[in-house]
Amino acid sequence: MSTIDVQPTATIVEGSDGLLLMIDGQIVPNYDATLTPFEEGDVVTGHVVRIDKDEVLVDIGYKSEGVIPSNELSIRKSVDPKDEVEMGEEVDALVLTKEDQDGRLILSKKRARFEKAWRRIEAAAESGEPVDGTVIEVVKGGLIIDLGVRGFLPASLVDIRRVPHLDEYLGQTIECRVIELNRSRNNVVLSRRAVLEEQRREDRERILDRLQPGMIVEGTISNIVDFGAFVDLDGIDGLIHISELSWSHVNHPSEILSIGDTVSVKVLDIDRDRQRISLGLKQTQEDPWQRVVDTYNVGDELEGRVTKVVTFGAFVEILDGVEGLVHISELAQHHVENPREIIQPNDEVKVKILEIDSERRRLSLSIKRVEGQILPVRRLDGDGEEIPAGEPGEYDDVPQLGLSEDVYPEGAVAAPAEGEEAPADDAPVAEGEAAVLAEDAPVAEAAAVEAPDAPEVVAEVEAAEAVAVEAAVAEEAPAAAEDPEVEVAAPAEAEADAAAESEDAPVAEADAPQQA
């Protein structure tokens, strides 16, 4: 006689959500109902129950704990499990294998983060919202950001301005915008600069709404360029043009400002459409021009310093920030070809005020009208630069003619009085010969001017010149020297000849002293 095993019938106890079973009239736990159903590739949640040096055990409600190997904990390289998880921490893990050759459930924390991160990154890329990540590596050309996946942040997109040292960002959590995404290649490119520029636009709008022309604000010098300096006004840069830096002349902004300086500036103009702010630094300082208007009058004499020499004159600073022009015609009593003959930059001079133009803020000055002031005449080279004392000039090697002995020999006979005959040796030169004389031996300007009023001097000069050009006269008109019947010119005629000589053959003003 054979026996037949009958399996007990199990029914779910009502109201137990399947966790209790009725078997043969007894209520027992339904252990299978406590197991979480999942398949390989699913993401499950569990709590850390054990941490070893090379793996972590996680209770996910399965019949055995899941194992997360250390290389599946993070996208970082060579991590310590204790640095990644804590006892009792709830973690998400992706099921790699439900049962390996040892019967273990193998999980991956980093791949679960990877899947969740991709979903988050894809949503952020679509909406334009920024994502947060931690800088985990500095590589050539940029930074690696841990977003659950490895994101690349190029160095040019780390900040608005170029960052010289990327190491300072290592370990920092930063906010970036996704600008490129490729799931098949696991490629994520980020930009922190885009986030900063967006924040800056918002800051600019807020600051622009607050600022008004005429306000005095405080800022920090953020950059210096040839045409001015930029001031950071808590998130927006304003420009101080070089002409608005100081009341005095400025060659380069770096002469008076440095990056990082804190300055008080005046808002001159605001272009809200282009988000540009024009600032002035000199407007926060005393206007020295007002001191000139209040203190000085036309005709006053005062001391100043030459700041610049130009072709048409020189600029002289009489107060800090106040310069006046000395026109070339007001430099000296004589004609001046080059102002550098008279003055050079940094010379201390006395000037007289000729005109004060308050509206145009211009000051006309004079040096030559200051009584008792005589400036030395400087030697200049071919480029107009002053030749230092002791150095040879361009014409220093010209041989001296020694005219004083030839033209004015000792014992020169004076011209005869009216009605007297001149000695044969001292016979004056005929009118036709005067042209030769004027060409070969020009008369000093001073003598030419005095000739009409002093016939005796003219005759004496004529006699001296006749000696100097004796050879030329002998060739041109020998008879005039030998014939005793040659008629001697009267003093009045000599006076007219001398005047004609000075009119037909003028001598350059600069040459006259050399010949005399």
Structural domain contains residue 293: yes
The amino acid that residue 247 corresponds to is: W
Residues 268 and 356 in one domain: no
Put simply, whether the predicted model's pTM sits higher than 0.75 gets the answer no
pLDDT at 30: 62
φ, ψ of residue 304 in degrees (nearest 5)? -155, 175
Residues 149 and 182 in one domain: yes
Domain count, the chain: 5
pLDDT category of residue 34 using cuts at 50, 70 and 90: low
Measured between alpha carbons, how far is 275 from 160 in angstroms, rounded to an integer?
17
Picking from 241, 261, 284, the residue at the C-terminal end of a domain is 284
Structural domain contains residue 381: no
Domain enclosing residue 301, as ranges: 288-366
The token pair at 494 is 């000599």
Task: Express each pLDDT in 437-490 by its tens digit.
Answer: 344 444 333 333 333 444 444 444 455 444 444 544 444 444 433 443 434 444
pLDDT at 493: 44
Residues 425 and 497 in one domain: yes
Picking from 366, 393, 415, the residue at the C-terminal end of a domain is 366
Task: Determine which of 22-26, 106-110, 335-339, 462-466 has the lowest per-residue pLDDT on average.
Answer: 462-466
C-alpha torsion 336→338→342→348, nearest 10? 130
Residues 252 and 191 in one domain: no
Structural domain contains residue 121: no
pLDDT category of residue 83 using cuts at 50, 70 and 90: confident
The token pair at 394 is 């361009």
Picking from 155, 172, 196, the residue at the C-terminal end of a domain is 196
Structural domain contains residue 324: yes
Residues 271 and 316 in one domain: no
Residues 305 and 357 in one domain: yes
Residues 407 and 511 in one domain: yes
Packing angle of the helix pair 491-504, 455-468 (nearest 10 deg): 70
Among 472, 379, 399, 396, CA closest to 429 = 472
Residues 277 and 293 in one domain: no
Structural domain contains residue 468: yes
Structural domain contains residue 395: no
> Which of 404-439 are b and which e, b meaning 16 or more Cβ less than 10 Å from the residue's Cβ?
eeebeeeeeeebbeeeeebeeebbbbbeebbebbbe
Q: Residues 450, 495: contact at Cβ < 8 Å?
A: no
Residues 447 and 508 in one domain: yes
Q: What CATH number is given to the structural domain containing 95?
A: 2.40.50.140
- Select, from the ranges 299-313, 415-429, 438-452, the one with the highest average predicted confidence (pLDDT): 299-313
Residues 474 and 509 in one domain: yes
Structural domain contains residue 148: yes
- Select, from the ranges 202-206, 221-225, 492-496, the one with the highest average predicted confidence (pLDDT): 221-225
Among 204, 205, 241, 236, CA closest to 219 = 236
**Does 178 have pLDDT greater than 90?**
yes
List the 10-12 sheet strands across, edge first: 10-12, 20-23, 26-29
Residues 105 and 72 in one domain: yes
Among 302, 223, 216, 232, CA closest to 267 = 216
pLDDT at 33: 58
Coil, strand, or helix at residue 363? Answer: strand
Please provide the size of the chain in residues: 516
Strand partners, 66: 58, 105
φ, ψ of residue 250 in degrees (nearest 5)? -125, 120
pLDDT at 337: 87
Structural domain contains residue 491: yes
Residues 275 and 295 in one domain: no
Q: Residues 60, 112: contact at Cβ < 8 Å?
A: no
